[in-house]
Amino acid sequence: MSKVYFTKNSESDYDKLGKDALELLKKIVSETGHKFEKEVPIKVHFGEKGNKTFIPAKCYDEIINYLKENGVSPAYIESNVLYRGSRTTTELHIETAKAHGFTQIPIIIADGDIGTEYNEVEINKEYIKKCKIGKRYGEFKQFIVMSHFKGHVAAGFGGALKQLAMGFASRGGKMEQHSGISPVVDHEKCVSCGICMNKCNFGAIEISDAAVIDESKCIGCAGCIAVCPQGAIENSWGGANFLEKLAEYAYGASKDKDIIYITFVHNITKECDCVGEHMKPVAGNIGVLAGKDPVALDTACLDLVQKNSGKKLFEKGRTSLKHAEKIGLGSMEYELIEIK
């Protein structure tokens, strides 16, 4: 049974949320004898342009200051998104992050300018054999993964597992989780400019009346999605066994890493922070939870949201939790310890 620490906070006071997060971090450090490396990136989600309910930058100030005071050099770390938006390329991603106030420390976009740089992490699980993890994640042994618990159309909910699985994966890794390996071309949008063909390092794209992707050559890096000026190339959202693949990618992202997980259960919306529009909460604010076991942490968050709302919100995501437990990522059994 894993320990999950909890501070109750239903107020929309972001300064207080940041202090609560720090107290939980200190508790884990004290309880586990955790020793920080000299460099510890903080995994966050900067929020899509137009989103209003992502966890704001000020919620990270207390932890950033604490790390610096203890001789640790922190940085924000993220990877580029699969879809076309304000975080598709490193340039746009950093621009969006800074516009949302994430200016306190350096920003690392781990998978390169257009999301195609990665290391393979071998896991040999049921659906995924090797995970495509953003290349720069490999430079670090420790992370603080800070998540925002809320809904997600495909995953059921977004929390620690999703921060690992999608947040650490390169664009090709994200695609591998969502569907089959190859993107698809919308022939009505394609103007046969050849930019995607020139970008592809694997000879998987040819140009005729429109771009044609050879699935036998495509490795799923999804670089063509990022460079297409017409938005004519998209992920093929098949989603077969997506929930299980997500759990396996979370396993790969955390393999051989020392991670502390902190989750804000506030601004609980139906969709995730990748939606670039204002959304209304579907449940009341609960507080901040933390632990060393991402499966236990997500399970506790889900249970609290369902209990407090009286609804079976985000239940679909429990499939990922069960698979994550099955493959040895963590335990769904937890002891909830409230810190007052």
Pick from 115, 73, 117, 74: which is nearest to 91 by CA? 115
Q: What is the reported pLDDT for 216?
A: 78
Distance CA(161)–CA(175), nearest Å, equals 16
Domain 181-234 sits in CATH 2.10.109.10: no
Q: What is the reported pLDDT for 217?
A: 81
Q: What is the reported pLDDT for 329?
A: 98
Distance CA(116)–CA(79), nearest Å, equals 10
| Full pLDDT tens readout for the chain, 340 residues | 999 999 999 988 999 999 999 999 999 999 999 999 999 999 999 999 999 999 999 999 999 999 999 999 999 999 999 877 899 999 999 999 999 999 999 999 999 999 999 999 999 999 999 999 999 999 999 999 999 999 998 899 999 999 999 999 998 899 888 766 578 899 999 999 999 999 887 799 999 999 999 987 886 677 788 889 999 998 765 456 889 999 999 999 999 999 999 999 999 999 999 989 989 999 999 999 999 999 999 999 999 999 999 999 999 999 999 999 999 999 999 999 999 8
Q: Report, in this order, helix, strand and coil percent for the chain, each rounded to 5.
A: 35, 25, 45
> At a CB cut-off of 8 Å and minimum separation 6, what does 28 contact?
5, 34, 260, 290, 291, 292
Distance CA(234)–CA(217), nearest Å, equals 17
Q: What is the reported pLDDT for 236?
A: 63
- Residue 43, phi then psi, degrees to nearest 5: -80, 120
Distance CA(10)–CA(272), nearest Å, equals 20
Pairing of strands 142-148, 156-158: unpaired
Pairing of strands 156-158, 150-152: antiparallel
Distance CA(172)–CA(152), nearest Å, equals 20
Contact 115, 151 (CB under 8 A): no
Q: What is the reported pLDDT for 82?
A: 82
Q: What is the reported pLDDT for 256?
A: 98
Q: Say how many Å lie between the first and final Cα of the chain, rounded.
A: 22
- Residue 254, phi then psi, degrees to nearest 5: -95, -5
Angle CA(219)–CA(162)–CA(103) in degrees, nearest 5?
95
Length of the chain: 340
The per-residue DSSP string of 78-121 comes to E---SSSSTTSSHHHHHHHHHHTT--SS-EEETT-TTS--EEEE
Pick from 27, 1, 46: which is nearest to 276 by CA? 46
Q: What is the largest CA-CA distance in the chain?
A: 65
Distance CA(51)–CA(101), nearest Å, equals 13
Architecture of domain 2-177+239-338: 3-Layer(aba) Sandwich (3.40)
Q: What is the reported pLDDT for 237?
A: 54
Pick from 163, 106, 104, 146: which is nearest to 17 by CA? 146
Distance CA(87)–CA(173), nearest Å, equals 16
Q: What is the reported pLDDT for 103?
A: 98
Buried b (16+ CB within 10 A) or exposed e, 39-48: ebbbbbbbbb
Pick from 55, 24, 29, 27: which is nearest to 40 by CA? 29
Reduced to 3 states, what is the DSSP secondary structure of residue 172? helix
Domain boundaries, the chain: 2-177+239-338, 181-234
Pick from 141, 144, 143, 166: which is nearest to 153 by CA? 166
Contact 62, 24 (CB under 8 A): no
> What does the block give as tokens for 95?
């621009």
Q: What is the reported pLDDT for 202?
A: 78
Contact 116, 172 (CB under 8 A): yes
